[in-house]
Amino acid sequence: MQGELENRNEPQAVFRWLWIVFFLNGMTPGFWMPALTNIFNARGLGDWVSVAFVVPPLCALISPLIGGALADQRVPANRLFAWASVLASGALLAAFSSLDAGWNPWWFVCLLGMYSLFSGPAWGLLTVISLTHLEHGERRFPLVRVGATLGWMAAGVMTSYVLGADTSPTAGYASAVARLLCGVCAFMLPHTPPLGTGRSWRSRLGLDAFSLMRNRDHLVFFVVTALFSIPLGAFYMYAPELLKELGDKRSTATMTIAQLTEIVAMLLVGSVMLKYRVKTVLLWALGLSAVRFGMSACAGATGSIAWHIGGIALHGMCYTFYFITAQVFMDRRVDPGLRGQAQGLLALVTGGLGPLVGAMVCGALRNHLVTDDGRGWMEFWGILSAMIAVCFIIFAIFYRGLGKEEPAGS
């Protein structure tokens, strides 16, 4: 047993198990999220799309901070992640079973909310585990994180070409299986004990993370990240719908193009973080994101699917350079006893507050601008592109950084 434990904590064993867990963790939403809009539309539940996409970010306002606080103060992060994943798989299975059985959609919404509560802290916990145990974390973290991208891609391809489930709850069943396997494999991750000592109710709820806002740059970073996450909510909600409008019958598989460019970006981002300032890297990501949404606006104006596919391809690059840099940035700028809560706060902003507002804003924009005959997509994506341009301007003006010697991974 002791030998097994030692072997498990050898650098290559740690890397291997982290990569597998990231792969399965990325595969889970890769099955159901890109297909959900078309699954609902096929069942005449199109009006429920925005409601369903509101639920995960709403739950992410609660669980990431509490999960981060537990990992910082009470429960080893690896065990917390493993058991939460097992419970999340059961909730996801129940959610899609209710949809398949034709129950009232509120059953699906509530069960998806339960899944989201269990899975909300997942990415933050995996980030803490990875950057705690990986040697040369800035370089190697993107290499394990790319496992999640490959998992998402594999799920998309399997949904369209193996399961034929672009409009079927079968995609949700596959997602539940992937999540269960993720939880089982997570028991092989290295022990990551709590390092914090907080005892107050504020600490136990993860609210100590908000003390980071006292730093001006941190405040600007979190505000811009929240604003940036609002238009990003439209990507998985409505990019597949536009693909279908433009004649693509395999929209779930087409969406995985974003993951191809994300893989390339993952291989590059470690070196980029060590060479360029945080501000430079994040501004690149914001600027390219504005262009990416502008390309989808061009697709809506011209009816050419090539513009939209080009924008989807650019999405992977934008996502990686912003959010992976952000995760490493937060891990390196906070006290070790606050890392879990800091990642939880980042998850709250990127997976909770921003997407919650985004689901409502993007849903309202889509219903107001896009007509039944497919017109209005140019205005829809154009407005979202302008929103990201505003984020670029705010960050460029108000974020200061530490000077020329501040590489993102330092």
Mean of all residue pLDDT scores within the chain: 83
pLDDT band at residue 53 under the 50/70/90 scheme: confident
User: Please, are residues 149 and 45 in contact by the beta-carbon 8 Å criterion?
Assistant: no
Q: What is the pLDDT of residue 204?
A: 58
Q: Where are the alpha helices (DSSP H) in 60-169?
A: 63-73, 77-100, 105-119, 122-133, 137-157
CA-nearest of 43, 310, 34 to 163 is 34
Give the tens place of pLDDT for each residue, 317-363: 898 899 888 888 777 777 766 767 777 778 778 877 887 888 788 88
User: Residues near 346 by Cβ (< 8 Å), separated by ≥ 6?
Assistant: 124, 222, 225, 326, 327, 330
What structural domains does the chain harbor? Answer: 2-398 (1.20.1250.20)
Distance CA 402, CA 142 (A): 24
Q: How confident is the model over 55-83, as a mean pLDDT?
A: 79
Q: How confident is the model over 236-265, as a mean pLDDT?
A: 82
pLDDT band at residue 270 under the 50/70/90 scheme: confident
Query: Which residue in the block uniquely carries the two structure tokens 């639920």?
Result: 55
